[in-house]
């Protein structure tokens, strides 16, 4: 059977040339690369990184590593597809390299050429054994097994690789032939469960919205004209991890901490803060294919005949995308946001926008909210019932409880909704309660939060846990019916003692409805290592999976990374901040 491989953009037959170089090493898995040269004197240092580490876009950040053991080992590599961008012809395209510790240490480099067998300096009897398709990180990849001798020692090699967005990713495994079968299934398992990290953009703020089978990423870049404003761009990502070109939405936004989006009926509604001097919320519609449909902004937080909502300067400083909620009820959008007046009073506001961009009057969902806690205004819709929740604390004193209120607002005249008394959803005496969230389920909502663990503004340290309550609506129009018992979703949230971050601008904790199951995800760590966790539950929170742990070294972060989780039909996509940018990685969607 003829097999095809891509070399410099052209399909050619067959794969692998093995080229052997002598290398002086210092200990297992490392060595001096200065002695590694080709016959013509060209330096042959080969840059490889762990598969789940960084995008290869930043070539100068890829480190030189040789990491394997002669008698068996598995190494995760990113092949150097970016060699295609260089003028290296007729030099071959390097796929991966490994270090072998035998009687004489060597570095073996796998390259792509149109010739399958070439051997130098000790390699002999190279022969392909098999080739077949495999599941590689939820994508269709290829597994190639071949044999070769080094210094008369019979070795077996397996390379699993996949092409995603014109980049090859590879896992390379080898051992002595007699030991090969003991390790091969481990290597196959790693290929199936590994994660491909792709750089999406070069900023470190995450805003991504799911459509039917695509995603809109919102990207903010500093404006050259005004240091307080940003150019707001969009980019469409497919579930195959391909990306459109960036397109401009607005050149005077207030940054991605003040932006959110919602998809429905073929287009996205993008809501964002704009104009540093005025500081108000506006919106534009963007098609599913990335075409901006509005030349003129849609007003969101101003132009009201009932309330003067010309926003004070405090607005953009107290608002962020964790407090801008967008819902769609099948006919129109509802946008809710937090408004802080010049005298310091807090209000929760709302406005309806239909699919053609026509707006209702602005209305107050609740006025004069005392002790409103940042980032706790949430809104969700279930069975055409809209619930808005928020959390308060009368004082920073630990003796005061955190109280969460809720109010149903649909089916109520917008002129009277502000007069309806809210119901208490939860009254929590734990001062470390944070990351309050509201998620729709079939017959109601789940209100969840994190409590315990580290908190720099709190006294003492307690065990960290994820808690939740189930909420539904009874026969009374405005009453919120809350489960009497708090449900503990997870008691052991970390593996190494680190805590989920404190509430703030970044997202360290997510909960969402994943095909009628609930997906909880969170991130811990700091400095150079972050760890991602997730678990799946049924909607009643009675059948909860074990916690899945993903150790992700994303590098050089001064604080915790941000996390955003979404999904397609069969894949889970995790967006996270990385060094100098935001990366996404995919894996098979978890099942309970």
How many C-beta atoms surround the C-beta of residue 318 within 10 A?
Answer: 15
Nearest alpha carbon to residue 223 among 200, 242, 250, 198: 250
Output the DSSP codes for 32-65: -STT-B-TTS-B---B---TTS--TT-GGGPPB-
SS3 at position 60 = helix
How many C-beta atoms surround the C-beta of residue 294 within 10 A?
Answer: 16
User: Can you give 107-122 as a three-state secondary structure string?
Assistant: EEEEEECCCCCCCCCC
Domain boundaries, the chain: 4-194, 199-369, 378-561
What CATH architecture applies to the domain 199-369? 6 Propeller (2.120)
Q: Output the CA angle 561-563-569, nearest 5 degrees.
A: 150
Report the pLDDT value the prediction gives residue 171, as an integer from 0 to 100.
Answer: 67
Output the DSSP codes for 127-142: EEEEEEEEEETTEEEE
Running along the chain, 592 residues long, what does each successive block of 10 average in pLDDT?
27 24 21 26 28 28 27 33 36 39 38 34 66 84 79 74 68 71 71 70 82 90 86 92 93 86 94 81 94 94 48 39 84 89 81 92 88 89 90 76 87 78 81 85 88 59 77 59 68 61 61 84 64 82 80 43 74 74 77 55
Token pair listed for 423: 């119901």
Report the pLDDT value the prediction gives residue 262, as an integer from 0 to 100.
Answer: 95
SS3 at position 323 = coil
CATH placement of domain 4-194: 3.40.1000
For the chain, how are helix, strand and coil distributed in percent, rounded to 5?
Answer: 5, 50, 45
Beta strands in 474-570 (DSSP E): 480-482, 487-490, 509-514, 517-526, 529-537, 548-552, 563-567
In contact, 531 and 496? CB cutoff 8 Å: yes
Report the pLDDT value the prediction gives residue 413, as an integer from 0 to 100.
Answer: 77
């Amino acid at each position: 059977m003829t097999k095809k491989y891509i070399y410099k953009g052209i399909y050619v037959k067959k794969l692998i040339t093995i080229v052997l170089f002598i290398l002086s090493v210092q200990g297992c898995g490392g060595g001096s690369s200065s002695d590694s040269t080709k016959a013509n004197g060209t330096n042959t240092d080969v840059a490889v990184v762990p598969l789940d580490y960084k995008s290869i876009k930043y070539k100068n950040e890829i480190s030189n590593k040789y990491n394997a053991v002669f008698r068996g080992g598995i190494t995760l590599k990113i092949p150097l597809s970016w060699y295609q961008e260089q003028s290296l012809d007729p030099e071959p395209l390097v796929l991966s390299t490994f270090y072998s510790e035998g009687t004489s240490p060597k570095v073996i480099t796998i390259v792509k050429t149109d010739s399958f067998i070439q051997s130098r300096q000790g390699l002999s009897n190279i022969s392909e054994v098999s080739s077949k398709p495999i599941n590689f990180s939820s994508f269709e990849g290829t597994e190639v097994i071949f044999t070769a001798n080094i210094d008369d020692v019979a070795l077996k090699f397996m390379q699993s690789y996949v092409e995603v967005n014109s980049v090859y990713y590879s896992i390379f495994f080898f051992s002595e032939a007699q030991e090969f079968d003991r390790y091969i299934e481990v290597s196959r398992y790693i290929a199936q469960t590994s994660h491909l990290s792709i750089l999406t953009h070069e900023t470190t703020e995450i805003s991504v919205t799911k459509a039917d089978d695509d995603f809109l990423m919102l990207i903010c870049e500093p404006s050259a004209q005004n240091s307080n404003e940003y150019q707001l761009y969009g980019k469409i990502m497919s579930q195959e991890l391909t990306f459109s070109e960036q397109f401009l939405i607005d050149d005077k936004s207030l940054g991605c901490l003040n932006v959110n989006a919602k998809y429905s009926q073929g287009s996205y509604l993008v809501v964002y803060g704009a104009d540093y001097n005025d500081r108000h919320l506006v919106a534009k519609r963007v098609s599913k294919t990335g075409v901006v449909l509005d030349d003129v902004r849609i007003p969101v937080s101003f132009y009201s005949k009932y309330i003067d909502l010309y926003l004070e300067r405090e607005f953009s400083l107290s608002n962020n995308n964790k407090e801008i909620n967008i819902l769609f009820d099948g006919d129109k959008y509802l946008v809710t946001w937090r408004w802080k007046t010049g005298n310091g009073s807090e209000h929760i506001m709302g406005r309806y926008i239909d699919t053609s961009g026509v707006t209702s009057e602005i209305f107050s969902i609740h006025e004069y909210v005392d002790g409103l806690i940042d980032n706790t205004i949430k809104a969700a819709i279930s069975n055409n019932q809209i619930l808005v929740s928020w959390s308060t604390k009368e004082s920073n004193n630990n003796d005061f409880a955190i109280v969460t209120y809720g109010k149903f607002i649909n089916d109520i005249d917008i002129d009277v909704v502000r007069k309806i008394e809210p119901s208490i959803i939860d009254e929590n005496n734990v001062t470390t309660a944070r990351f309050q969230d509201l998620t729709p389920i079939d017959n109601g909502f789940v209100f969840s939060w994190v409590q315990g663990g580290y908190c720099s503004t709190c006294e003492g340290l307690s065990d960290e846990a994820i808690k939740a309550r189930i909420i539904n609506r009874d026969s009374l129009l405005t009453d919120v019916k809350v489960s009497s018992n708090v449900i503990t979703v997870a008691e052991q949230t970390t593996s190494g003692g680190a805590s989920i971050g404190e509430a703030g601008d970044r997202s360290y904790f997510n909960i969402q409805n994943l095909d009628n199951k609930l997906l909880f995800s969170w991130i811990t760590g700091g400095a150079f290592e972050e760890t991602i966790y997730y678990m799946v539950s049924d909607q009643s929170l009675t059948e909860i999976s074990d916690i899945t742990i993903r150790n992700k070294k994303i590098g050089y972060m001064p604080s915790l990374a941000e996390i955003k989780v979404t999904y397609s039909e069969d894949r889970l996509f995790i967006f996270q901040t990385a060094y100098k940018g935001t990366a996404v990685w995919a894996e098979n969607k978890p099942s309970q």
